[in-house]
Structure 1
Amino acid sequence: MRGLKGKVAIVAGGARGIGAATARRLAEEGAHVVVGDLLIEQAQEVAADIVAKGGKAIAFALDGTKAASQAAIVKLALDTYGKLDIYHSNLAGGTEGDIDALNCPEEVLDRSFAINTKSHFLATQAALPAMLENGGGAMIYTSSGAAAAGNPWQVAYPMTKNAVHALARHVAQKWGKKGIRSNVICPGLVLTEAAQMHLTDEYREQGLKAIPHTRLGKSEDIAAAVTFLASDDGEWVNGQVWHVNGGTIKRD
């Protein structure tokens, strides 16, 4: 894809799954990558793999729910590579105990908000000044198909993911004239390492039956979409929520 060589990217939540695949894909396209994650050993493994293949990458122990940690990963990118062009805010989780609106405990809602909304807000506050100083950049947020699906068994996760859509559109509308592009990716059922560990064969079979496609998703599918949005090929896409799901959810 055009325009990624020499660009500097942060991938938050880059130790495994979609984030790791995105970090690797961006590096393959010539970007310099900072892999941020609480799972620092796995983040270091991703960065080392990129370097071993001829790319440029470093790892950082990121707690995306803390403003100081978000500021620190941006500072590391600036100190190491001199600028920041791309921030893929990919944190997600906090679903344990998330049932329905009558049975979801307050602490579960608070945890989901911290991981799935607050982290993206703090990433925006940390990254935007550096991007504006650089003349522009791309904020790319990972949401979920659950934000639009209307699941009866889950409430906090889709609520808090929906908030990211409003954030991305705000950023696009407020700073688009200054070169900032801000978009959201909503993955469908993607067979990440975590999903492989927790999904039953029956659940995967049901998921495949429900999708108008020949297979379920791979982390690399989402990485390709993120990389496109980060590249010059995606420079006229702004303020959008993309469902990358093999056709499971169809939206205008």
Structure 2
Amino acid sequence: MGGIVLERFDLDGKAIVVTGGGRGLGRGMAHALAEAGAHLMLAARTQSQLDSTAEEIRARGGTVATFQADVTDSKQVDALVAACVREYGRIDVMFANAGAGGDPDVDFWDYPDDAFEKVLATNLKSTFYSCRAAAKAMVGQGAGGTLVTTASGTALRGNRNFVYPTAKGGVISLTKSMATMLAGHGIRANCIVPGYVSQTDPKDDQERAQRAQRGTFMPVQRLGEWWELGPLAVFLASEASSYITGETYIIDGGGLAGGLGPIKFRPRHEW
């Protein structure tokens, strides 16, 4: 990269952990980060997904290692960060991207305790564990670092799948709090808020047509693609965003601005 501006986007040699890095949005961000020169440690529960994404990145000349982990377990998260430090000598950036939704078809008054706890653990607790472990290592290194979290547009509107926006709303608040607490250590924290973004390429013409139809609800007349979070991920991981912390970046094709909630879950008429 050349020039005073483009140099700020260079991630050459930066050690970056991406949780939920085997598929979907994590896969898209991983590809972009590797293209910008980062050395990646991808983490997920499913090793086959990690292997597939890592193979794609290596085929394009990227540097990547993998670590199978359940990030709802803080000990496994600590081991993940330790593995990154072992592999690359340090950790510079943590992308706390792991997450999963709840069941939108269960009535609020019947929602089970264990299901509520599972969604909170997968989305909010995992983000806390990942950022805590990374921040501890970064403070020990004494050179600052960057934390990037992933929330959801549902956190800014709410919907029937109420546990998921509850957890993701917590991620947004956690990110702002981390930004204020850790700024003195040179650690920045920002949050990416995706709208409705396809997790994979369409498998056939029928699925392509279905996505095109759904996209007509959006101001930009299409859904997002799995790779479109990548450029934003590079920006937030790089020195191009060195004076930005505690911020929330919505990437949803204008959905929230246009008054649209995520289109998968519309209110039931009896509510």
Which SS does the other structure have where 2:216 is aligned? helix
Task: Label 1:213 to 1:27 Cα distance change in 2 as closer, same or farther (>3 A).
Answer: same
1:55 correspondence with 2:62: yes
Residues 104 and 155 in structure 1, CA contact (< 8 A), matched pair in contact too: no
Q: 1:186 is matched with which residue?
A: 193
**1:126 is paired with a residue of what secondary structure?**
helix
Q: Is the 8 A contact 1:98 1:109 kept in 2?
A: no
**Deviations 1:68-120 (Å, cap 9, x if unpaired)?**
11011101110010010111111111423664532322221111011011000
Counterpart position of 2:150: 142
Q: What are structure 1's unaligned runs of at least 5 residues?
A: none
Q: Please tell me whether the aligned partners of residues 100 and 154 of structure 1 are also in contact (alpha carbons under 8 angstroms).
A: no
The more displaced of 205-214 and 140-149 is: 205-214
Distance, in Å, in 1 between the alignment partners of 2:107 and 2:179 is: 32
Kindly indicate whether residue 217 of structure 2 is the aligned counterpart of residue 210 of structure 1: yes
Larger Rg: 2
Q: State the alpha-carbon separation in 1 of the partners of residues 190 and 13 from structure 2.
A: 21
Is 1:23 equivalent to 2:30 in the alignment?
A: yes
The count of corresponding residues between Structure 1 and Structure 2 is 249
Return closer, same or farther for 1:88/1:196 CA change in 2, 3 Å cut-off.
farther
Gaps of 5+ in 2: 1-5, 259-271
TM-score by length of 1: 0.91
Runs of 4+ that moved beyond 6 A: 194-197, 200-203
TM-score, structure 2 normalization: 0.85
* Distance of aligned partners of 1:205 and 1:106 in 2 relative to their CA distance in 1, 3 Å threshold: farther
RMSD: 2.3
Q: Does the alignment pair 1:244 with 2:254?
A: no
Paired position in structure 1 for 2:12: 5
Cross-structure match for 1:177:
184
Equivalent positions of 1:1-252 (< 5 A) are 2-96=9-103, 99-134=106-141, 135-151=143-159, 153-193=160-200, 204=211, 207-250=214-257
Q: Distance in 2 between matches of 1:194 and 1:155?
A: 28
| Offset, 1:49 | 2.2
- How many Å apart are 1:205 and its aligned residue? 5.6
Compared CA separation, residues 25 and 246, structure 1 to 2 (3 A): same
Distance 1:71 1:98 in 2: 35
Secondary structure, aligned partner of 1:220: coil
Note closer, same or farther for the CA distance 1:245–1:120 as it changes in structure 2 (3 Å cut).
same
Q: What percent of counterpart residues are identical? A: 32
